[in-house]
Every structure is written in C-alpha cells, then in structure tokens.
Structure 1
Amino acid sequence: MIDLSDLDPFASGYNRHCYQHPDEPTLCLKVLRPENIEARYQRQAWPKKVLGKARIDDNRQELRAHQQQAIRKLLAEGQSSLVWAHLPRFHGSADTSLGTANVSEFISGSEGLPAETLEHYLQRRGFDQSMQEAVDRFGHWLSETGILTRNLLPHNLVIAVRNGQPELFLVDGLGAPAIPDTLAVLPAWRRRYIERRVRRFYLRINWEIGDRNDSWEASQKL
C-alpha cells in the first residue's frame, strides 16, 4: 500500500489526480476522483447509465489502451524504445491509500519538476519553430507506430528534452473508443483515423494560439 495521505497532487484533471510516487520519484501515480466520476455518471442519460460506471473509469480505459494491438505488436517485436518515444513507460496498477492507481513514468522538465504542458508552452512562446518540429515528429510517430489516441489536446501532452531537443509525451488520452478500436484491424482505416486525429490536433493548436473569440466547441461548427 502506497500512502498518499500527506501528499498534494502535482497535476489534476476532472477525473484523476496525479501524484509523484513518495518512494520512487521517477514514477507517477494516477488516482481516480470518485466524487467527480459519480457526478459525471449522474449527468448521463439513462441508456448510458445502463452501461455502468466502468466506461467512464479513466484508469480502466488507460489500462485497456495500453493493450491495443499496435502497442502489443511493437513490444512483442522488441521495439519498446519506439513505443516509449512519446509515451510515458507504463507499469500497470498499484494500491494506494486513495484507491487503485495507474503507475507510469514521471515525465520531468528542468530541475526535476513536472514537465510543462504543451498548452502552457503555447501560451508562453506560441507555436515556434522548435515546437512545430516537435509536433511534426509526434505526428510522424503516430503514423509510423499505428498507435491510437483520442482527440489530441495540448493539456494532455507534456514537453521533455530528449537528445538535446524538445519532444512531446502523451500523458492522457491514449486509446480509441470501442468501435474505432475494433475497426483499427483494417490498415487503411487505422491510417485515416490517425490522419484525422493529427489534422484536428493542428486545428486545436491554431485555436490555442488564436484570439479565441469562439469557444473550441463553437469553432468546430464554423
């Protein structure tokens, strides 16, 4: 049992808190926020409620996402370095004082602090040349590996220096919904799915650095 009672999360989303492991600082622990999971469940229409709370359990979804075909195939072929080139190394789950946590590599920036998100970087420096190149490498990696993600959002990617240059790491949003995941056995469908995600990612970046007169949701309807 990992005791997190005296720790503050270094990052929080709506569904999970992220903690640095108290005994192994190179590891990140993602713990569900049950009160928000319950609130999200209660807001759903009854047909979705019938499907249960497991479908909105981010830890469960992340475990499943790491079992997707592309990742299993690459690891079986001994290409782990390619898999983890833009993903935190994943170590399964562990029991904590706050419930079961997903355990992954803690991606750090300068002085061992949590790595900066792409969202924060864009706010500070815009979409400069070095980040354009990093995004391009990330998109190429997705195409090369065939790894499926949900919509790519700047707050779900962090930046770490590798081999003297900034690289993006996807810390949330791995995996695809059930139907796309099933259809991904078709190479042409998988390729189009990834291409759509990458194109949408660039649109989101342009929205992030723009005037934001419209919300992101409203901008999709233009």
Structure 2
Amino acid sequence: MLILKEEDFIGKGSERACYLHPEDKNKAVKVTYKNNKREKNKQSQKEVDYYNELIKRGMNDWQHLPKFYGEIQTNHGEGFIIEVVRDYDGEVSKTFAHYIKENGVDFYKKELEEYKDYFLRNKIIFNYGMMPKNILLRKRSEDKFELVLIDGLGDVSHFTLPNKIPYFARRRIKRRWDKFVNKYIKK
C-alpha cells in the first residue's frame, strides 16, 4: 500500500484529490478524497478504463495527455498513477485558465488547433469536464507550448458503442469540441 502524506498534496476537484507520488516526483496519484459523497468515484473508473482502452489500441502519443502508470492501493483508498506535467524548467505546469487570464485566448490559437487535431487524429473522447482549469499549459521552451488534459478523459454517455467507429467518434469529438469552445473559449 502506498502511503500518501499531506505534504505531497497537490490539489483537489469536486471528488478527487491529487498527490505527488512519494517515491517518484514525476508521477502523481489521483484518489477519491475522504468525506466525498461517493464512496467510489465513477469518473476515476471511467478514466482508468479509458486509459486502458487507449493502451489496448496501441496508443503511444501522450503529448496532450499525462502518461498512465496503472492503479494502486493507497492509505486514502484506490487510486491511479499518472505523469506529473512539467514545464521545460522542471516546474509543474499551470492551468490553461491561468494563462488565458494572463495573455488572452487568442495568444493560444495555434495550441488549441493542435490540441483539437490530436483528439481527432487519435479518436480520443473527452467529456464535459474538459475546461480550462482541467487543462495544463506545458511550456516546452520560452515560446513553445502544448495543452495537456488532466481531467475529463473518456465518455460519460451511456451509449458508447459509436465511439468504436472512427467516423462516429470524430463526430462526437467535434460536437464536444464546439461545446467546449462556445462555453469557455468564445467568452
């Protein structure tokens, strides 16, 4: 069992907490935090299942997703391990929301287009949790950036069979992308 300590705490959302892995500072552990209304987090299970599906499909392009290292039992319950997204200088990447406030969204048009193309090219479904606060902007250098989705991976729809067919998967991605842009980018 992996012991997660408060000094390794990174942050939390509405249901899950994220900790730096105590044995590897380039990995993080996501767990459903205690006193949450749900004993088992459905989003965590969907995310783990989707990561496993991507691996089964032979996915090897993790440019816009943190790498997945599997599930683990912790002192805070079941969790899973992912890559910590870091900038070229070793600092943990900040949220896209932070940089939108700082520079405006137009500054990142190229990165947004590359991000969208990545999901379409790899037929990766994201859910409605994809919002600027759940996307990190990784600085590859002083002037080269890429967006990384840290929450909102996978499909929350009950009927996911069409996602297995490339044409329908791309249509779903395009619809969700349009909703994402209309809700968060075209303010």
TM over 0.5: yes
Kindly indicate whether the alpha-carbon contact (under 8 Å) linking 2:50 and 2:154 is maintained by their aligned counterparts in 1: yes
Kindly indicate whether the alpha-carbon contact (under 8 Å) linking 1:5 and 1:98 is maintained by their aligned counterparts in 2: no
Paired residue type of 2:139: V
Structure 1 position 137 matched with structure 2 position 114: yes
- TM-score (ref. length: structure 2): 0.88
Q: CA deviation at 1:27?
A: 0.2
Kindly indicate whether the alpha-carbon contact (under 8 Å) linking 1:10 and 1:19 is maintained by their aligned counterparts in 2: yes
Paired residue type of 1:106: V
Q: What do residues 88-115 of structure 1 show as CA deviations (whole Å, max 9, x unaligned)? A: 0000111222222210000123653321
- Name 1:58's counterpart in structure 2: 43
Structure 1 position 73 matched with structure 2 position 57: yes
Question: Which of 188, 202, 208 is the matching residue for 2:167?
Answer: 188
Structure with the higher strand share, 1 or 2: 2
Q: CA deviation at 1:172?
A: 0.7
Q: What do residues 109-128 of structure 1 show as CA deviations (whole Å, max 9, x unaligned)? A: 36533211111111222113
Distance across 2 between alignment mates of 1:19 and 1:162: 23
Task: Provide structure 2 residue ranges, at least 5 long, that are not aligned to the other structure.
Answer: none
Kindly indicate whether the alpha-carbon contact (under 8 Å) linking 1:32 and 1:58 is maintained by their aligned counterparts in 2: no
Kindly indicate whether the alpha-carbon contact (under 8 Å) linking 1:118 and 1:159 is maintained by their aligned counterparts in 2: yes
Q: CA deviation at 1:136?
A: 0.6
- Name 2:29's counterpart in structure 1: 29
The 3-state SS of whatever aligns with 2:126 is coil
Paired residue type of 1:124: E
Paired residue type of 2:162: L
Where in structure 2 are the equivalents of 1:1-222 lying within 5 Å? 1-38=1-38, 56-68=41-53, 71-75=55-59, 80=60, 82=61, 84-109=62-87, 111-129=89-107, 131-151=108-128, 152-162=130-140, 165-206=144-185, 210=187
- Name 1:41's counterpart in structure 2: none
Calculate the aligned-residue CA RMSD, in Å.
Answer: 2.1
| Residues paired across the two proteins, number | 185
Matched-pair identity in %: 25
Larger radius of gyration: 1
Q: CA deviation at 1:132?
A: 1.1
Structure with the higher helix share, 1 or 2: 1
Kindly indicate whether the alpha-carbon contact (under 8 Å) linking 2:27 and 2:83 is maintained by their aligned counterparts in 1: yes
Kindly indicate whether the alpha-carbon contact (under 8 Å) linking 2:95 and 2:137 is maintained by their aligned counterparts in 1: yes
The 3-state SS of whatever aligns with 2:4 is coil
Paired residue type of 1:33: Y
Q: CA deviation at 1:184?
A: 1.3
